Amino acid sequence: MDEKTLRYLYSNSKKSVRDIAEQLNCSEHKVNYWLKKYSIAKRTISEAVYLKNNPLGDPFCIRKPTKKEDLILFGMGIGLYWGEGTKANKNAVRLGNSDPILIKIFIKFLDSFFGVKKDKLKFQLQVFSDLDVESVINYWIKLLGIKRDQLYKTIITPHRSLGTYRKRSSYGVMTLYYGNTKLRNILCNLLPKE
């Protein structure tokens, strides 16, 4: 197997071992053998899945802040992700809060600096059982300007006692999801390190 061809197909064209084997009419074992023989580093399973799900490249584009207003929004977005985002999830950008304005600012941040459009986001609502779930769903849909099919199944939590948190979350907690490992890693790398 020609090293130049194999490097081009695997590294430049980002074809999978299976795709290369089919194209060259050979076994996957043979392709793997020659990858190892030519010391061509194999992609991790995570990288391979990402490439398969994004064959045209990243579904986002990075735009750096240029104006004062951009810098303010960028700083707010990073701060929101740092304070309210879920960094433990390795596969998605997640941010939850009971304040719709906060969620809207984060949506604007994702759109302005990464080209992530609102219709590509998913959301999940968590409400207390004593609330009118349908009214709460409609409240969030209207305020965020999203479609009902962007919502995952609502989580209904039994209410316990009257407390200040329950009072503040009379419309539940909305969590925003954008399933992209690479963007999640970019955002985490922008956060201050210890």
46 and 74 share one domain: no
Is 62 inside any structural domain? no
146 and 183 share one domain: yes
107 and 137 share one domain: yes
116 and 168 share one domain: yes
101 and 20 share one domain: no
Answer with the residue of higher pLDDT: 97 or 91.
Answer: 97
Is 39 inside any structural domain? yes
pLDDT at 170: 79
CA 93 to chain centre: 4
Question: 12-49 burial, b for 16+ CB within 10 Å, e for fewer?
Answer: eebbbbebbbeebeeeeeebeebbeeeeeeeeeeeeee
Indicate the range of 6-10, 73-77, 155-159, 173-177 predicted with least confidence. 155-159
Q: What is the mean pLDDT of residues 42-51?
A: 83
Which CATH number fits the domain that encloses residue 150?
3.30.1330
- Please give the mean pLDDT across all residues of the chain: 90
161 and 184 share one domain: yes
Over 90: is that where the pLDDT of 157 sits?
Answer: no
Query: Residue 129 belongs to what domain range?
Result: 68-190
111 and 21 share one domain: no
9 and 90 share one domain: no
CA 133, 134, 139, 145 torsion-angle sign: positive
Is 58 inside any structural domain? no
pLDDT at 1: 86
Over 80: is that where the pLDDT of 41 sits?
Answer: yes
Hey, is 175 helix, strand or coil?
strand
For the chain, percent of residues with pLDDT exceeding 70: 94
- Report the domain count for the chain: 2
112 and 144 share one domain: yes
Answer with the residue of higher pLDDT: 190 or 51.
Answer: 190
Is 105 inside any structural domain? yes
Over 70: is that where the pLDDT of 194 sits?
Answer: no
pTM of the entire predicted model: 0.75
91 and 162 share one domain: yes
How is residue 53 written in tokens? 């799900």
* Beta bridge partner(s), residue 151: 123
103 and 138 share one domain: yes
